[in-house]
Structures are given as structure tokens and as C-alpha cells.
Amino acid sequence: MEILTTALQMLNKYPLCDHCLGRQFALLGHSMENRDRGRTIKLLLTLEGHLLTYSIDEEGFSLLKAVAANGSFEKARDVLRHFNKRTRVKKRCFLCEGAFERIPSTVVNAVRKLGRYEFTTLLVGVKLPLEVAEREDEFKARFNVTHGESMKSQFSRDVGKQLCQTIKKEVDYSKPDVVVLVNPFADQVRLQINPIHVGGRYKKLIRGIPQSKWRCRRCDGKGCEVCSWTGKTYQDSVEELVGLPLLKMVQGEGMAFHGAGREDVDARMLGSGRPFVLEIKQPKKRYIELRELEQIINKQADGKIEVLDLHIANKEVVRRLKRAELTEKTYRTIVEFGRDVSDKELENIEEILSEAIIRQRTPRRVLHRRSDLTREKYIYKANTKRMSHNRVEMQIRCQGGLYIKELITGDEGRTNPSVASILEVKATPLQLDVLKVGET
């Protein structure tokens, strides 16, 4: 009986609780708990010990004593008591130091902390002190344990099981709402509340609103005379107009706004809107009425912006958005020329800029945040519509990443060809609107 022989060697040497003894044989048998494995082995050893007392009684008693003392096994103590043998007091488990017995109190602790949050799924993560993990490794090597399981994996499972039974929630290994981080040796429970993501599209109906909050450069957000003590360069931002109502609704700790690209502060975002995902960190609530949220945002934004098609999103959608930044865009701009332009010249612009590759060196105005490179961007179609003798409305459908203002002005030769260079005239974009982002 190899299992019993090995188990007895272990118990002769170290005090082991039912969980820790059973765990050394965890891969044997199915659908049972390590505690039951450990108990069964200790019970069989007790029977063996009792049997031995009838032949070689010293060996039988020493076996029973090992199981009673190092195994803290009541049934072995009962047999010894029957023979009027004294047994030693209960010892602390060499491997877990009694941590498995403390799981119920860990669970109570976790339940109390979780009570502040709304969530559906959870995952338990366990962190063990280094010396505990090392001690178990040495133990396994010494007894040549080949069908065991790690303490960490048993802890995570046991805590998870008891916790889920108590609060009636489910474990999710890939995308849990909450991760319960447990250090059973320090009796520590920490919660990692995963963010919620709400996706949608926004329209920016007026100019002068940046997509994300701009901190005042003078005071770095602390508040000064320049920013009228708001800490901000612009009073509003799409991020705040969209995000603050949700942040308040779910009582989150912070937010991040991810847009599929961004328009300039002075450009509107019209048409079907620009896709975005709003991420709220450490939300206390997770069950949101999206229709209600949409109404609140749009009402509070008071015609500055508008959101549509709100839906629950996730991290993967954010990754897709970042890639979508480079998809097709359609712009409308009003261009003013330094002199009158003829119909022939407008036709010329349409012809040269449609199905054309534009070589664009990073515009001077964004050099402070982007490296100085020359990029090639494609224009699918450029249309013009005369408004007056020197004013034209242009619509441009192009690859994402093309800077439209510079396509008009030429940016002192850094963008080529440009509207200005084609006609050899000063061209100024008066207004810029984004009409469409992507195919939707």
C-alpha cells in the first residue's frame, strides 16, 4: 500500500492537517476534496495501527501516536485511549499553519468587503508568502510527491467555492467583475474591482470643446486666475460631458475616455457620430439603465454634444477602437482663398486630390506630441461646392490620420500636394466638421 506507506512517513516527520495530507494525493480519485482524502488516509492508518497492536504492539502504538499527534486525528486518539495510552496535544500543520481552518473567517471578511459593490462574477486569487511556497516545494521533493497539487491552487478553489456558496455568485476565470485577492497567512483580503465599459457614439454639435479634459498649463490643474480657478483650459470636454453622469451613477473612482481618433477642438463631429468607449474604474454599481443614462447625458450636455447607441462594451472593444482610428473618415470644411478662384480651378482641385496619395510631414502644431515623420495618406474623394467668389465648401473622404487643416494650407510645404499648392494661393480653413468615422 504505497499511499499509506508514504503518508505514514510524512506523518512520522511532520504535523499535517487533513487538507495538506490529502493534497499530496490530489490527482488520485475524482470529485472529492483533499480534506476527505486526508481524513480517509488517516482513518485507514488508524485501522492498520489498531491491527498491528495485536501482533507487534510497539509498532502499532507508534503508528497510532503519529496519526493522533501529528495528524491531530481524533479516531486514532480514541483507539489509544481505549488502551489507556496518553496522547500529546494537537499540533499546528507544518505546511499551512492552520490556514485552511481559517478559511471561513477569510470568507466572512471577503463577504463584508464585497457588500459595498454590485457584481455578478468573481475570481479568487491567492498570494502565499514565499517561505510557505518554498517549504511545500521542499516537502514534495523530500517525499517524492508526484500526484499532488499546489497549496495555492487548493486555496483559490476552496475559498472560491465557500465564497460563492455564501453569496450565491459565480466564478468567472476570464472576465470576472471582481477579483478577491487573499493572503490566508496574513488574514488579508483585498478587492480588485474591474472597470465597466460603456460604448457608444458621440456627436459634437458646437466648436470649442476638446475631446478630453485639458488641464490648465499655467497651474497644472490646481486652479489659478488664468483658468478662473477651474484648473481647466476649456470649461467642457466630451470626456466630462459623457463621463461624469455615468461616473456619478455607478459611483466610480475614475474614468478613461477612449475615442476612435479625435477631432480638433474647433471641429464639430456630426453625421452618425464618433465611436467611443468610456471606462469607469472601481464602480460600486454595475447594473445600468442605458436608456436612462443616454437621456441624462444628453439633457445635461444641453446641445453641446449628444450620445447615441449606448451599449455595454469591454476591453476588447477598446483595442478595436484604437485600430479603428486609422479607418476612413469624411470631413467637411469651409475654405477661404486669398483671391477669387475660377470653376476650372475648383475642378482642378477635385481632380488632383481625388484618389491621390498625400505626403504629409507631421504638422508644426502637433510636433510637441508627435514625432516628426512624413506619412502617406490616401484621399478617396474630394468634392468642392462654391459659396462665393473666394469661398468654397469641401468634402473630403480619406484614410484616417490625414490632417485636414494642413491639407488646405500646405503647412509651409510640409503637406504635398495641398489645396494651397495646387492653386498657388493662400488657403485658410474657416471651419472643420467631421461627418463620418468608419463605415457605419
Contacting residues for 67 by C-beta, under 8 A, at least 6 apart? 11, 42, 45, 46, 49, 73, 76
Helix (H, G, I), strand (E, B) or coil at 367: coil
- Which one, 56 or 226, has the nearer CB to Zn ion? 226
Is 264 labeled as catalytic in the residue annotation? yes
Query: How many angstroms separate the Cα of 41 from the Cα of each of 48, 257, 430?
Result: 10, 57, 85
- Which one, 76 or 95, has the nearer CB to Zn ion? 95
- Which one, 152 or 218, has the nearer CB to Zn ion? 218
CB of 242 to Zn ion, least distance (A): 23
Backbone torsion region of residue 355, taken as left when φ is above 0, otherwise alpha when ψ lies between -120 and 50, otherwise beta? left
> Which is nearest to 185 in space by CA: 113, 112, 133, 115?
133
- Which one, 219 or 346, has the nearer CB to Zn ion? 219
Query: How many angstroms separate the Cα of 12 from the Cα of each of 16, 57, 74, 77, 95?
Result: 10, 17, 17, 15, 14
At 194, list the grid cell. Answer: 474591474
- Which one, 57 or 134, has the nearer CB to Zn ion? 134
CB of 26 to Zn ion, least distance (A): 13
CB of 38 to Zn ion, least distance (A): 9
Interface size with Zn ion, residues (CB under 5 A) = 11
Peptide bond into 417 cis (omega under 30): yes
> Which is nearest to 75 in space by CA: 48, 101, 57?
48
CB of 147 to Zn ion, least distance (A): 18
Binding-site member from 8, 20, 288, 394 for Zn ion (CB under 5 A): 20
CB of 12 to Zn ion, least distance (A): 16
Binding-site member from 68, 76, 93, 434 for Zn ion (CB under 5 A): 93
Instruction: Find out whether 195 and 280 touch, Cβ atoms under 8 Å.
Output: yes
DSSP string of 289-308, one letter each residue = -HHHHHHHHHHHHTTSEEEE
Binding-site member from 17, 209, 238, 432 for Zn ion (CB under 5 A): 17
Query: Quick one: 422 exposed, middle or buried, by C-beta within 10 A (0-12, 13-18, 19+)?
Result: middle
Map the footprint of Zn ion across residues 191-220, applying CB under 5 A.
216, 218-219
Backbone torsion region of residue 5, taken as left when φ is above 0, otherwise alpha when ψ lies between -120 and 50, otherwise beta? alpha
CB of 24 to Zn ion, least distance (A): 11
DSSP string of 327-346, one letter each residue = S-EEEEEEEEESS---HHHH
CB of 223 to Zn ion, least distance (A): 6
**What does the alpha-carbon distance between residue 56 and residue 46 come to, in Å, rounded to a whole number?**
15
Edge-to-edge strands of the sheet including 170-171? 170-171, 121-126, 178-183, 188-193
- Which one, 184 or 261, has the nearer CB to Zn ion? 184
Residue in the block written with cell 473622404: 397
- Which one, 17 or 126, has the nearer CB to Zn ion? 17
CB of 366 to Zn ion, least distance (A): 23
Binding-site member from 7, 96, 114, 122 for Zn ion (CB under 5 A): 96
> Which is nearest to 42 in space by CA: 24, 59, 58, 29?
24
DSSP string of 238-292, one letter each residue = HHHHHHHHHHHHHT-SEEEEEESS---TTEEEEEEEEEEEEEEES-S-----HHH
Map the footprint of Zn ion across residues 216-245, applying CB under 5 A.
216, 218-219, 224, 226-227
CB of 94 to Zn ion, least distance (A): 7
- Which one, 226 or 312, has the nearer CB to Zn ion? 226
Q: Which of 264, 266, 302, 433 is catalytic?
A: 264
Radius of gyration of the chain (CA): 35
Q: Is 313 in the site for Zn ion (CB under 5 A)?
A: no
Stretch of residues binding Zn ion (CB under 5 A), selected from 16-24, 107-115, 164-172, 187-195: 16-24
- Which one, 158 or 406, has the nearer CB to Zn ion? 158
Residues at the site binding Zn ion, with contacts judged by CB under 5 A: 17, 20, 93, 95-96, 216, 218-219, 224, 226-227
Q: Which residues are catalytic?
A: 264
